[in-house]
Amino acid sequence: MSSIASTERFSILVILRREYLDITGNFCAAKLIEYFRHWTKWKLKNHRTAWIYQPLKKIYLDLMGEHSLHVIRSAIALLDEMGIISKQKNPGNGQDRTWQYKLNFEVLNKLLELGRCKTEPSRFNVEQHHRSHPEVSKPQQHSAVELEKSEELKTEILECGQEGVYYTPESESPEITHFVENIEQDNSTTETDTHEDNFSAPVVSNFQDEDSGDDDYAEPVEKSVQPSNQEVQEVLQQLRDIPCTPQFRLNAEIQRTVRRCWENVPGAIAYLKEAIRTWKGIKSPEAVFVAACKEGRKPEAQQAKSGVTAWFEWARRERIVIAMSGEVVYTPDGEAVELAEMMRRFPGGE
């Protein structure tokens, strides 16, 4: 318990890293990876253990209340499910209900490799960091304003050549500053980045804003239709909500495939849903979706006539529906509605 009290004297700079956002698709989860990464370094330096004892309310306060306890719980569950973190109860006290967390760097590095980053490869290594940076022994305070003057204080580069977390001594009063760092342009990307402004409320979208045109994201795609970030987010959310076992997991490959094969996405979603209903079992729904998207597969039952096809294309452009399987169409909310009923409700495309 003494270690808990001692940590309250310090504060950390929680940075939203885009490479973490790419692999989780969740703002809170991406921040928690950086949060746990920082505390892991400090614990290894001072206590020789990678297990972090942090009550949920303490995490909530360290994140400046930007995410509710429910959102934080869900983000931790996502990281645990992806294998990025491990959880355990206090082995020395069976009545202690507070979880202990450990960041699994091997899993994290493998997921980062899937992002196909082409900048300077540099894996995080705690021991190497402390040998080269002995002055970093505990969480320090930071000010977002002073980051503009800290170019000479850069001390670390994580995987994919992104900027690291910089710690400089300040006054002893606890203070936590959150900001979204500017990401250097990746030669292999074409989409845009998201920036949160001045401690704004959590954003529903897990991707980039359409208005930020300085940074690129996705690999070049050769197609006439470029999906908006909102459209991509709706598709990713629908994939995440598909009821299947095992649960559909988003990753960098899924996101790139959706952008690169946008015209095939509706048919691929319908194909996956039909496969879930009709196949005996699916070991990897992600692989089924990616293959259907790349190869343009559609459900066998999808035999729409020319008039129906014209109506469906119109309804999809108007965001009335996003997919069709046989005589059933799917709304952006994931609701399945009879095709004839939807055509009666919205006759504009005929």
13 in a domain, yes or no? yes
Dihedral (Cα; 228, 229, 233, 236), 10-degree rounding: 80
Packing angle, helices 265-278 and 285-295, rounded to 10: 140
253 in a domain, yes or no? yes
141-197 per-position pLDDT tens digit: 443 434 443 444 344 434 334 433 333 333 333 333 343 333 333 433 434 344 433
State yes or no: pLDDT of 28 exceeds 90.
Answer: yes
Task: For the chain, give the percent of residues with pLDDT over 70.
Answer: 62
284-317 per-position pLDDT tens digit: 999 999 999 999 888 865 545 557 888 888 998 8
Residues 81 and 105: beta-carbon distance below 8 Å: no
Using pLDDT thresholds of 50, 70 and 90, give the confidence band for residue 324. Answer: confident
Do 15 and 130 sit in the same domain of this protein?
A: yes
Using pLDDT thresholds of 50, 70 and 90, give the confidence band for residue 33. Answer: very high
- HSE on the CB side for 203, CA within 13 Å? 20
Residues 269 and 330: beta-carbon distance below 8 Å: yes
User: Residue 131's domain spans which residues?
Assistant: 2-139
Do 106 and 6 sit in the same domain of this protein?
A: yes
Q: What is the pTM of this model?
A: 0.34
- Please tell me the predicted confidence (pLDDT) of residue 188: 39
301 in a domain, yes or no? yes
- Please tell me the predicted confidence (pLDDT) of residue 219: 40
184 in a domain, yes or no? no
Query: At 337, which helix (H) or strand (E)?
Result: strand 336-338
- Among the candidates 139, 167, 182, a domain finishes at 139
> Where is average pLDDT lowest: 54-63, 211-220, 276-285?
211-220
- Please tell me the predicted confidence (pLDDT) of residue 209: 38
What integer best gives the mean pLDDT of the chain?
70
State yes or no: pLDDT of 228 exceeds 50.
Answer: yes
- For residue 148, what are its two tokens? 């503009």
**In angstroms, what is the C-alpha Rg of the chain?**
23
- HSE on the CB side for 284, CA within 13 Å? 9
Do 8 and 130 sit in the same domain of this protein?
A: yes
97 in a domain, yes or no? yes
Using pLDDT thresholds of 50, 70 and 90, give the confidence band for residue 74. Answer: very high
Task: For the chain, give the percent of residues with pLDDT over 90.
Answer: 13
191-226 per-position pLDDT tens digit: 434 443 333 333 333 433 333 333 333 444 444 578
224 in a domain, yes or no? no
Q: Residue 130 is part of a domain; what is its CATH number?
A: 1.10.10.10
Q: Which residues contact 124 (CB under 8 A, 6 or more apart)?
A: 37, 105, 109, 156, 158, 159
Total domains, the chain: 2
